[in-house]
Amino acid sequence: MTGSKPRRLSVRKYSATGNTFVLLDLRDAANRALKAASLPAAARRLSGEFATDGLIAISGVKSSKPAVRMTFFNPDGSRAFCGNGTRTSGFYEWGRRRVPPGGAIMVLTDAGAIPVGVKKSAAALLNIEPPRFMEPAAVEIEAGGSLSAIFHRVWSGCPHAVCLVPSVRDAAVESIGRSVRYHRAFAPEGTNVDFVEVLAPGRLAVRTYERGVERETKSCGSGVLASVFAAKSLGKIPGPIADVQTQGGRMKVVADGGHYGLEGGIDLVFEGGVFI
């Protein structure tokens, strides 16, 4: 894009329970000339310009059922799976196609095909493969001074390190999160870092430091899934439903029948054009 004539792109900004994204539909006439190789640079530019947690690139797929492909880029230009980005993609495509209530959109992601159900101003990931512990399942890390903490390693489409804490309000998410994200125990890929407080049986509060964003975000879908999985495995969630409070709002996780579901609000913040 550097050195070329500026072009106007059609963009949308969404908030998924406080997790914000720029969405580029590559099927839009204004966006069709955008090459795949230029998307990482676009993510770096637009994520900064619109103060978002990443960029969603939407493209079409051939399917007999409503489906769309999502490619997600962090603000640093790296590709990743994003749970809230997947919910946002399904929500966007559902409105574009005017799918009847109760219908679902299949979103093809780097972590596989995920059905997304939509109702009013919310979207839910349906029938997701359950998260799993990575090896080793838990590591003890010096988390500041002489303090050490146990971090549970969970894969929920991308790597997470989950730590149960007495209070998320008092957790040093930025400093400890950054230290753990780059810790040698998670090298070379690094990890997202989740701080989890058990508010009551079946109720959690979660704060996440996101790899690739390199700061705390107001919510992280894959982080919520990883946190519920870890808490459930440790006996902190007795039933199939978990209510999760994030900095951006409430989310619901259903873990039943060997699959997981994730639900939360979605809002269109802005729609327009930008020269790049």
pLDDT digits (tens, 9 = 90+) for 193-239: 999 999 999 999 999 999 999 999 999 999 999 999 999 999 999 99
- Name the one residue in this structure whose structure tokens are 């495995």: 233
Pair 14, 105 in one domain: yes
Say yes or no: 47 and 100 in one domain: yes
**Domain ranges, residue 69:** 8-129+265-275
| pLDDT score of 7 | 83
Is residue 3 one of the residues assigned to a domain? no
Is 2 part of a structural domain of the chain? no
What does each of the 276 residues of the chain score in pLDDT, given as a tens digit?
Answer: 555 678 899 999 999 999 999 999 999 999 999 999 999 999 999 999 999 999 999 999 998 889 999 999 999 999 999 999 999 999 999 989 877 767 789 999 999 999 999 887 888 998 889 999 999 999 999 876 556 899 999 999 999 999 999 999 999 999 999 999 999 999 999 999 999 999 999 999 999 999 999 999 999 999 999 999 999 999 999 999 999 999 999 999 999 878 899 999 999 999 999 988
In a domain, 211, yes or no: yes
If you count DSSP H runs as helices and E runs as strands, how many of each does the chain have, helices first? Answer: 4, 16
Candidates 32, 67, 73; CA nearest to 55 is 73
| CA 104/CA 3 separation, integer angstroms | 42
> For a pLDDT cut of 90, what percent of the chain falls above it?
83
> How many domains does one find in the chain?
2
**pTM of the predicted protein model:** 0.93
